[in-house]
């Protein structure tokens, strides 16, 4: 703070994602491993935001910063971001750069959720993989037409409630049949089957059925990603279910309230991780990681058998529900 002005100082990153794609040559695709790593990092950042009830609302390649040397990407420009919660409040639909704008916003929805960011992320996913923007509309109606031509004109059968959206009521749209993304030559060339499945899950019309950032991180597309190559931030496991974490990491999250243990008498759950307490990782922030690691190290990761009731691991009691309808927004 100086002379009544607040200055924010951030780390230096070389370029934004759009410039990175342009400079790497539009005719040559990125290596699949780089695409996968970039997407994983962006989804980590998005989960961090959504877990803290923040919708970015302006995700696009120009707002993703890249460290070229270390192949690190980070979300930036939160000028249109909004906090959300209950009760649901009205939001403006004049958000998100046109090419990355979700159909519910284009159709005039004033109440929307984290799903709008997922749609934008799906468009970015396609662009990073193919080096071509998926929907290049020059107006809102042209953008809708481009989406409908590829994914089909939405109806009540595929998107319950769409007919009640303001812009849907005002217009009579041509009826385009749903066509598969894989018929696009550039998409078929750039995506394997798991990648295409994830892309389709991000571009589902009905917001409540669109995949969440958390579930996207757990998608099989990332199953062969070497997590050691993804930069550690201290937040990379925030929001993921404990049974999806490495054993030693789960121990960190439990260090202040319980221990990871193995019950040698439990033959039914042999090899599974059983927990005495089950905090939700999404509620832990930066400070929890080093603190818990210190506590775990001080105990030398001793795993003790304790009397407790085994329970199947699940994701619950999080500040953000998995169902987008529950999280309808917002400020």
User: Which one is catalytic: 16, 58, 117, 280?
Assistant: 58
Looking at residues 189-195, what average pLDDT do you find? 95
Structural domain total, the chain: 2
Q: Are residues 146 and 70 in the same domain?
A: yes
Q: Are residues 162 and 283 in the same domain?
A: no
Count other C-beta atoms under 10 Å from residue 241's C-beta. Answer: 19
pTM of the model: 0.71
* Structural domain harbouring 270: 242-298
- Residue 310 belongs to some domain of the structure: no
Q: Are residues 158 and 49 in the same domain?
A: yes
- Residue 308 belongs to some domain of the structure: no
Contact 41, 231 (CB under 8 A): yes
pLDDT of 125 strictly over 90: yes
d(CA 258, CA 5): 45
d(CA 40, CA 310): 32
Looking at residues 261-288, what average pLDDT do you find? 45
d(CA 24, CA 7): 33
Looking at residues 102-122, what average pLDDT do you find? 93
Q: Are residues 255 and 171 in the same domain?
A: no
Q: What is the pLDDT of residues 225-263, one digit of tens each?
A: 987 778 765 556 666 777 777 676 666 556 544 334 344
Is 58 labeled as catalytic in the residue annotation? Answer: yes
In degrees and rounded to multiples of 5, residue 275 shows phi and psi of -120, 145
Q: Are residues 47 and 189 in the same domain?
A: yes
Per-residue pLDDT, 57:
87
Helix (H, G, I), strand (E, B) or coil at 244: helix
The first and second tokens of residue 123, run together, are: 């468009």
Q: Are residues 255 and 274 in the same domain?
A: yes
Q: Are residues 253 and 179 in the same domain?
A: no
């Amino acid at each position: 703070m100086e002379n009544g002005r607040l200055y924010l100082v951030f780390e230096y990153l070389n370029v934004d994602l759009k410039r990175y794609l342009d400079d790497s040559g539009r005719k040559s695709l990125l290596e699949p491993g780089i695409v996968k790593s970039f997407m994983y990092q962006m989804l980590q950042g998005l989960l961090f935001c959504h877990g803290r009830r923040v919708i970015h609302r302006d995700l696009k390649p120009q707002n993703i910063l890249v460290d070229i040397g270390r192949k690190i990407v980070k979300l930036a420009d939160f000028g249109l971001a909004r906090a959300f919660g209950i009760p649901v409040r009205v939001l403006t639909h004049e958000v998100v750069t046109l090419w990355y704008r979700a159909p519910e916003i284009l159709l005039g929805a004033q109440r929307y959720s984290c799903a709008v960011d997922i749609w934008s992320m799906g468009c970015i996913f396609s662009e990073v993989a193919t080096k071509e923007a998926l929907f290049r509309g020059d107006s809102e109606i042209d953008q809708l037409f481009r989406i409908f031509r590829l994914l089909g004109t939405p109806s009540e059968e595929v998107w319950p409630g769409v007919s009640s959206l303001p812009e849907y009521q005002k217009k009579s749209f041509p009826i385009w049949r749903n066509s598969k993304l894989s018929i696009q030559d550039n998409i078929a060339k750039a995506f394997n089957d798991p990648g295409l499945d994830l892309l389709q899950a991000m571009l589902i019309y009905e917001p409540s059925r669109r995949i969440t950032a958390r579930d996207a991180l757990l998608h099989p597309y990332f199953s062969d990603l070497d997590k050691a190559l993804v930069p550690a931030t201290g937040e990379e496991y925030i929001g993921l279910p404990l049974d999806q974490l490495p054993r030693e990491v789960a121990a960190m999250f439990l260090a202040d309230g319980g221990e990871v243990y193995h019950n040698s008498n439990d033959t039914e759950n042999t090899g599974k991780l059983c927990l005495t307490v089950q905090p939700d990782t999404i509620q832990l922030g930066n400070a929890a990681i080093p603190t818990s690691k210190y506590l775990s190290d001080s105990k030398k990761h001793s795993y003790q058998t304790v009397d407790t009731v085994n329970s199947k691991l699940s994701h619950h009691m999080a500040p953000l529900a998995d169902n987008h309808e529950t999280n309808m927004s917002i400020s």
